[in-house]
DNA sequence: ATGTCCTGGATACCAGGA
C-alpha cells in the first residue's frame, strides 16, 4: 500500500501535472494540502476520471486539505481538529481508508514570529498533540501525515544558520511541539528510513533555492504503534519539484506492508 | 530588505499568505 502526501499549492492551477503524477506513480492514497479552493471548485470529476475518490475540506484562496483514494471513497471521521470551534481554517481532515485512519494535516506557517500568527501556530500544534494522544490511546492504525510546517532538527535544513534561523518553522517552541508528538510514541517514518542523509521536502521559490538544493524537511509521516512494523519504504519524489511550474513542495510517499 | 508564486478582487496591478 503506497501512501503519498503532497502540498500542491493550488490544486486547480496544477491539475494537469497532478493528474500526470497520479498516473505515473499510482499511489493508493494521497493526502493533499494547500488546495486554495473552495469545495465547489474542487476538481472532483477529473480525479474520479483518473480513478480516485476524494474527501475534501476546502477553503477559498487559502489552506484546504483533501484525501484521495484509488478506486474507493474515503470514510470521513473528522473535518476539523478539535479544541477550538472558532478556528475556521481548513487544515485537518481525517478519514478511514483501507483499514487505516489517516489524518491529513496542514499546520499553520506561523510567520512572522513572534506575534499572533505564531501564537496561533503553537496553539494549533498543541491541539494536534491533544488529539494525537487520544488517537494513540485508541490503538487503531493511524497515520498523521502532511505539512507540519516544522523543521524538526538542524539536520532537516540545508543550513540552520541561513536566513531561515528566525523563521517560525525552526523556532524552539515549534520544534518542542513536534518533539512532544514523537514523545507520545509516533514514528517519524522518513527519518527512520533514512537516518543520516539529508531529506528535504520543500524548496522556497525565492533565492534560487531549488537550484542550490536549499531545502527544508517539513512534510512528515508519523506512524502509530501498530504501523511501525508495516513500514517498508518511503522517500521524497524530488523529480516532481524539478518540473516547470511545480509546487514549492515535493510529494513524499510511504510503502506499507499488508497487515 | 530582498527574492517568487499562488489566489482573488476589481484590473490590466495589488493585497495577503506562504
Q: What is the pLDDT of residue A44?
A: 97
Write down the mean pLDDT value for chain A: 97
pLDDT over 70 for what percent of chain A? 100
**Stretch A97-106: mean pLDDT:** 97
A176-193 per-position pLDDT tens digit: 999 999 999 999 999 999
Q: What is the pLDDT of residue A136?
A: 98
Domain range for A241: 2-256
Q: What is the pLDDT of residue A196?
A: 96
Q: What is the pLDDT of residue A112?
A: 94
**Stretch A220-248: mean pLDDT:** 97
Q: What is the pLDDT of residue A26?
A: 98
Question: How many Å apart are A29 CA and B14 C1'?
Answer: 38
pTM to 2 decimals? 0.97
Q: What is the pLDDT of residue A176?
A: 98
- Verify whether residue A200 is a known catalytic residue: no
For residue A115, what is the domain's CATH number?
3.60.10.10
- Concatenating the DSSP letter of every residue in chain A gives -EEEEEE-S-TTTTHHHHHHHHHHH--SEEEEE---S-GGGS-HHHHHHTTEEEEEE--SSS--EEEEEETS--EEEESS-TT-TT-----EEEEEETTEEEEEEE-----SSSSHHHHHHHHHHHHHHHHHHHHHHHT--EEEEEE-----SGGGBS-TTSTTTTSGGG-HHHHHHHHHHHHHT-EEHHHHHSSSS----EE-SGGGHHHHT-EE--EEEEE-HHHHTTEEEEEE-HHHHHSTT--SB--EEEEE---
Residue nearest to nucleotide B2 (CA to C1'): A207
Query: For strand B, which nucleotides have at least one atom less than 7 Å from a protein CB?
Result: 1-9, 16-18
Model confidence band, residue A99 (pLDDT cutoffs 50, 70, 90): very high
Model confidence band, residue A72 (pLDDT cutoffs 50, 70, 90): very high
**Catalytic residue, candidates A106, A200, A219, A237:** A106
A11-28 per-position pLDDT tens digit: 999 999 999 999 999 999
A83 touches strand B (CB under 7 A): no
Q: How many domains does chain A have?
A: 1
Residues 198-257 of A, Cβ under 7 A from nucleic strand B: 205-207, 245
Q: What is the pLDDT of residue A203?
A: 97
**Stretch A217-235: mean pLDDT:** 98
Amino acid at each position: 500500500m503506497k501512501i503519498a502526501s503532497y502540498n500542491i499549492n493550488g490544486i486547480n492551477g496544477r491539475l494537469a501535472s497532478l493528474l500526470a503524477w497520479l498516473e505515473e506513480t499510482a499511489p493508493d492514497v494521497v493526502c493533499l494540502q494547500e488546495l486554495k479552493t473552495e469545495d465547489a471548485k474542487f476538481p472532483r470529476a477529473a480525479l474520479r476520471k483518473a480513478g480516485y475518490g476524494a474527501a475534501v475540506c476546502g477553503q477559498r484562496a487559502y489552506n484546504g486539505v483533501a484525501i484521495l483514494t484509488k478506486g474507493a471513497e474515503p470514510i470521513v471521521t473528522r473535518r476539523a481538529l478539535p479544541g477550538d470551534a472558532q478556528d475556521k481554517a481548513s487544515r485537518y481532515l481525517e478519514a478511514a481508508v483501507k483499514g487505516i485512519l489517516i489524518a491529513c494535516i496542514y499546520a499553520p506557517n506561523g510567520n512572522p514570529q513572534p506575534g499572533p500568527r505564531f501564537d496561533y501556530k503553537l496553539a494549533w500544534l498543541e491541539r494536534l498533540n491533544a488529539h494525537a494522544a487520544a488517537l494513540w490511546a485508541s490503538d487503531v492504525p493511524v497515520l498523521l501525515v502532511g505539512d507540519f510546517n516544522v523543521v524538526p532538527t538542524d539536520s532537516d535544513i540545508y543550513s540552520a544558520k541561513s536566513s531561515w534561523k528566525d523563521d517560525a518553522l525552526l523556532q524552539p517552541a515549534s520544534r518542542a511541539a513536534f518533539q512532544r508528538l514523537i514523545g507520545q510514541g509516533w514514528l517519524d517514518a522518513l527519518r527512520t528510513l533514512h537516518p543520516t542523509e539529508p531529506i528535504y521536502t520543500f524548496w522556497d521559490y525565492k533565492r534560487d533555492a531549488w537550484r542550490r538544493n536549499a531545502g527544508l524537511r517539513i512534510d512528515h509521516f508519523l506512524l502509530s504503534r501498530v504501523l511501525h512494523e508495516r513500514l517498508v519504504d518511503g522517500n521524497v519524489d524530488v523529480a516532481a519539484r524539478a518540473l516547470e511550474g511545480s509546487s514549492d513542495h515535493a510529494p513524499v510517499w510511504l510503502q506499507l506492508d499488508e497487515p
